[in-house]
């Protein structure tokens, strides 16, 4: 290492101090740094003004860490390595959470580098340093500013005894890596394949590559690795993509999607046996069918239900309820079994069922009001019975008159950019005074660089784009996990659901806007009673897309989990909902769902049955619109609980995106069946329904 280079790595205070020392001391300090790669920084406590320091200048493994007057010696110089370590003593020792501790009060030491999770650290944008294993922050004990106060792990709160200023240029690494490219799959088998990609670049260095399919994490590998083996599901059609991540936690935009169709492990040409014993019963305008299980040489994957010879839904259960039928009408039903490779059994003999004369069901009828070639995402009901809805990829807003079916495009939102995934033109919201005395339409959308909340005026039935105000920008975007729902509360504040932008750490950073429910005044300013002095209302969310207020004025929220479960939450001001350590009620890392302060969901859903986006509350009943689950859950709000959970429309209308109260006390409902994992406009085939609710 050249001496002039070494000088640049020392801060001014250290230079002054060294200038007073004997030249030999300087030379011996420099000699401790092996190789030019050790780019050091001091870590100066914001509250104390003192430096993070290895006690007694000891290189013995297990030496304790304290704060001490800054002198720039080898025991105060640190480097964040590309692999996430925090090294000292010229790169020969690593900061280590003692005994793999993950609880408040765990001490940290300077120890032998071992590559384990208790030696992984990240420097956060707010200047805190958090442990990857514990999720806790480096913290001066008892918020002391005294010489020799020990450094420990403690729950991150970002106050002065947890903020560490760096001397290496004074800026944090906030620049995300470039986008990985050139994805290729080799050795595609029914349960495995090898994925490779070309390297991304970064101002500091790529620390990890994260591999996903369709918004779901599959693997993470180190930044020096450019291929990995993947575990696949036979017969799946997946879109693979890769994000690059640096040691500071900045995540790149996602690579282009590589679609794969996973082969079956063996060819099956034998259909299941016909379902036996089909019977049916009627309650009001709902018909329920039951049958006995079919058998198959490999396995039955689903039963298809036919009404008057048209397929109306599928289920893996041995019963099916077809609700919302016409009154006093006879229907013929039949059922067939299907295996995973599409072999279909003989259809049963039909049974005829006649509906009753009155509606005594949760749902009285469902009528298709219109179709759309794009994805209806946000929807608001107007006082005159019409609705406005956003088209995610077409980037415009349509007014629908349900009485006539007439549709009018009221404006195209400028500056919208898709993400070749879930981003685009998303949520809409209006106040109860819209449009008569409050002309503002609130919109959440993705741009080429962020997600943002804007508003613009709806005047004489048209959107005036010259009135656009950007209320909040800089909400990170990515291919998936963009959140997107808006909802005004009874307090007149606008609530915003934001995703974690494919970086779980964002959700726990109360200084950032992602993985949050945000709350703002109608003019976009920050309410003074928000819990963290910014827009954050609650945190620890992964990808929330549903918001609704109940009769008591409480906020309910719906959130996509990863591969295990989705969740419905009752939101508390300042609450931490646990992501990424906790998914639903399933622990993933650190202390998981048992972590003190994490608020448990009110209801969870296996992702295969859920993957729910929008929610609505009508007469204190929660309706949850589910995509992968192809159903709507109906849940009665009782005290703090969700009770009497029922499934509506399972398999009947495909993937459901949005439910929204209508002005006449019923429900709007829209689908999201095609073209919803790209940014291509008008490659969908969607429907908007009016659901008439019963009792
Ligand atoms: Ca970087
Ligand atoms: Ca078979
Ligand atoms: Ca949660
Ligand atoms: Ca599309």
Asked if the model's pLDDT at residue 84 lies above 80, the reply is no
Residue 38 maps to a domain: yes
Residue 369, both tokens: 């009001």
**Looking at the CA of 393, which ligand is closest?**
4
Is residue 143, in this structure, part of any structural domain at all? yes
If asked whether residues 16 and 66 sit together in one domain, one would say: yes
Going from the Cα of 578 to the center of ligand 3, the distance in angstroms, rounded, reads 5
Residue 327 has what pLDDT? 86
- Tens digits of residue pLDDT in 163-206: 998 877 545 677 899 999 999 999 999 999 999 999 999 988 89
> Do 200 and 315 fall within a single domain?
no
Ligand nearest to the CA of 584: 3
Q: Which residues pair with 109 in a beta bridge?
A: 64, 96
Give 167 Cα–ligand 3 centroid separation in angstroms: 37
- Residue 674 CA to ligand 4 centre (angstroms): 7
Question: Among 166, 191, 206, which residue terminates a domain?
Answer: 166
Q: Tokens 């929660």 belong to which residue?
A: 622
Q: Which of 34-43, 305-314, 358-367, 376-385 has the lowest mean pLDDT?
A: 34-43
Return the pLDDT at 83: 67
Does the pLDDT at position 16 exceed 60?
A: no
Residue 294 lies in a domain: yes
Domain membership of residue 40 (yes or no) is yes
CA–CA separation, 530 and 51 (whole Å): 33
Please tell me the predicted confidence (pLDDT) of residue 695. 64
Tens digit of each residue's pLDDT (9 = 90 or more) over 42-64: 999 999 999 999 999 999 999 99
For residue 27, name the pLDDT band (cuts at 50, 70, 90). Answer: very low
- How much is the average pLDDT of 121-138? 88
Whether 420 maps to a domain, the answer reads yes
Residues around the ion ligand 1 (C-beta < 5 A): 173, 175, 202-204, 246, 250
Region 575-589: what's the mean pLDDT? Answer: 96
Residue 433 alpha carbon to ligand 4 centre in Å: 33
Mean pLDDT over the full length of the chain: 90
Query: pTM of this prediction?
Result: 0.72
Mean pLDDT of 72-101: 89
How remote is the CA of residue 607 from the centroid of ligand 3, in Å? 14
Residue 665 maps to a domain: no
Asked if residue 683 is part of any domain, the answer here is: no
Residues 552 and 582 in one domain: yes
pLDDT over threshold 90, residue 485:
yes
Of 610, 631, 651, the last residue of a domain is: 610
Q: What is the spatial distance between Cα 395 and Cα 414, in angstroms, rounded to a whole number?
A: 8
Domain shared by 20 and 59, yes or no? yes
Is the separation of the CB atoms in 132 and 107 below 8 Å?
no
- Do 503 and 382 reside in the same domain of the chain? yes
Integer Cα distance of 139 and 150 in angstroms: 9
Does 362 reside within a domain? no
Q: Which-ligand-closest: CA of 300?
A: 2
Query: What is the 394 CA–ligand 1 centroid distance (Å)?
Result: 33
User: Which structural domain range is residue 100 located in?
Assistant: 3-166
Q: Which ligand is nearest to the CA of 580?
A: 3
Measured in Å, residue 303 CA sits from the centre of ligand 2 at: 13
CB atoms within 10 A of CB 141: 16
Q: Which of 280-284, 337-341, 516-520 has the highest mean pLDDT?
A: 516-520
Residues 224 and 141 in one domain: no
Confidence of residue 82 (pLDDT cuts 50, 70, 90): low
| CA 278/CA 486 separation, integer angstroms | 45
In this structure, the strands spanning 237-246 and 227-231 are unpaired
**Residues with catalytic function:** 481
Check whether residue 313 and residue 454 sit in a common domain. no
pLDDT band at 22 (very low <50, low <70, confident <90, very high): very low
Same domain, 402 and 256: no
The pLDDT value given to residue 123 = 84
Instruction: Provide the number of structural domains found in the chain.
Output: 4
Who's near 520: CB < 8 A, 6+ residues apart? 453, 471, 472, 493, 494, 496, 526, 527, 535
Higher pLDDT, 28 or 537: 537
How far away, in angstroms, is 53 Cα from ligand 3 center?
37
Q: What is the largest CA-CA distance in the chain?
A: 101
The number of beta carbons lying within 10 Å of the beta carbon of residue 651 is: 20
Which of 321, 354, 387 represents a domain boundary (last residue)?
Answer: 354
* Ligand 1 center from residue 205 Cα (angstroms): 6
13 and 95 together in one domain: yes
CA–centroid distance for 315 within its chain? 28
Predicted confidence (pLDDT) per residue in 530-547, tens digit: 999 999 999 999 999 999
Nearest-Å Rg of the Cα atoms of the chain is 29
Q: Specify the pairing of strand 376-381 against strand 440-446.
A: unpaired
Residue 384: CATH number of its domain: 2.120.10.30
Spatial distance between the Cα atoms of 164 and 581, rounded to a whole number of angstroms? 24
289 and 241 in a common domain? no
> 312 with 460, same domain?
no
Domain of 307: which CATH number? 2.60.40.10
Instruction: Say which CATH number the domain at 79 has.
Output: 2.80.10.50
Ligand nearest to the CA of 582: 3
Do 37 and 113 sit in the same domain of this protein?
yes
């Amino acid at each position: 290492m050249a001496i002039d280079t070494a000088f640049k790595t020392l801060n001014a205070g250290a230079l002054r101090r060294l200038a007073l020392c004997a030249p030999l001391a300087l030379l011996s300090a420099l000699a401790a740094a092996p190789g030019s790669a050790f780019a050091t920084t001091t870590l100066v406590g914001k509250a104390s003004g003192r430096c993070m320091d290895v006690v007694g200048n000891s290189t013995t493994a297990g030496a304790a860490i304290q704060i001490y007057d800054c002198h720039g010696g080898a025991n105060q110089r640190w480097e964040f390595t590309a692999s996430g370590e925090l090294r000292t003593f010229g790169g020969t020792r690593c900061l280590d959470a003692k005994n793999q501790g993950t609880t408040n009060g765990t001490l940290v030491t300077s120890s032998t580098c071992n590559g384990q999770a208790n030696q992984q650290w990240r420097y956060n944008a707010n200047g805190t340093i958090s442990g990857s294993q514990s999720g806790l922050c480096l913290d001066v004990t008892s918020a002391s500013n005294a010489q020799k106060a020990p450094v420990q792990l403690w729950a991150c709160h970002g106050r002065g005894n947890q903020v560490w200023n760096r001397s290496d240029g004074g800026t944090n690494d906030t620049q995300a890596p470039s986008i990985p490219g050139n994805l290729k799959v080799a050795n595609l088998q029914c349960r495995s394949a090898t994925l490779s990609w070309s390297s991304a670049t970064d101002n500091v260095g790529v620390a990890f590559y994260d591999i996903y399919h369709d918004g779901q994490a599959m693997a993470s590998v180190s930044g020096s690795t450019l291929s990995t083996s993947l575990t696949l599901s036979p017969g799946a059609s997946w879109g693979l993509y890769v994000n690059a991540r640096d040691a500071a936690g900045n995540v790149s935009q996602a690579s282009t999607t590589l679609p794969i169709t996973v082969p079956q492990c063996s060819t099956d040409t034998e259909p299941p046996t016909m379902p036996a014993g089909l019977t049916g019963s009627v309650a009001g305008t709902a018909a329920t069918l039951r049958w006995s299980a079919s058998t198959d040489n490999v396995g039955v994957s689903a039963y298809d239900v036919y009404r008057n010879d048209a397929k109306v839904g599928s289920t893996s259960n041995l019963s099916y309820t077809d609700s919302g039928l016409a009154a006093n009408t006879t229907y013929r039903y039949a059922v067939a079994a299907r295996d995973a490779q599409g072999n279909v059994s003989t259809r049963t003999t039909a049974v005829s069922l006649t509906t009753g004369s009155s509606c005594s069901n949760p749902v009285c009828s469902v009528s298709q009001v219109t179709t759309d070639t794009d994805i209806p995402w946000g929807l608001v009901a107007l006082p005159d019975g019409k609705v406005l809805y956003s088209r995610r990829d077409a980037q415009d807003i349509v007014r629908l008159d349900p009485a006539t079916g007439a549709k009018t495009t009221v404006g195209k939102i400028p500056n919208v950019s898709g993400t070749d995934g879930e981003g685009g033109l998303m949520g809409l919201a209006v106040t109860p005074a819209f449009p008569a005395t409050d002309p503002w339409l609130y919109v959440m959308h993705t741009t080429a660089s962020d997600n943002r909340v804007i508003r613009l005026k709806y005047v004489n039935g048209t959107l005036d784009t010259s009135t656009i105000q950007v209320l909040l920008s800089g909400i990170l975007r990515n291919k998936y996990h963009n959140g997107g729902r808006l909802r005004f509360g009874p307090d007149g504040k606008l609530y915003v659901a934001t995703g974690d932008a494919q970086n779980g750490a964002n959700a726990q950073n109360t200084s950032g806007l992602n993985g949050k429910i945000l709350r703002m005044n109608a003019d976009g300013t920050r309410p003074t009673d928000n819990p963290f002095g910014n827009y954050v209302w609650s945190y620890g969310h992964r990808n929330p897309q549903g918001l609704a207020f109940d009769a008591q004025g409480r906020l309910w929220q719906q959130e996509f989990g990863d591969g295990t479960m989705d969740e419905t939450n009752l939101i508390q001001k300042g609450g931490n909902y646990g992501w990424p350590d906790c998914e639903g009620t399933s622990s993933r890392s650190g202390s998981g769902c048992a972590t003190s302060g994490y608020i448990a969901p009110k209801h969870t859903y296996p992702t295969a049955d859920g993957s729910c986006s929008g929610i609505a509350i009508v007469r204190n009943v929660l309706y949850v619109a589910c995509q992968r689950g192809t159903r709507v859950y109906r849940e009665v709000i009782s005290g703090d609980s969700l009770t009497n959970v029922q499934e509506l429309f399972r398999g009947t209308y495909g993937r459901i995106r949005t439910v929204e109260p209508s002005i006449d006390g019923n429900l709007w409902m829209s689908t999201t069946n095609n073209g919803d994992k790209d940014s291509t406009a008008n490659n969908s085939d969607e429907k908007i329904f009016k659901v008439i609710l019963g009792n």
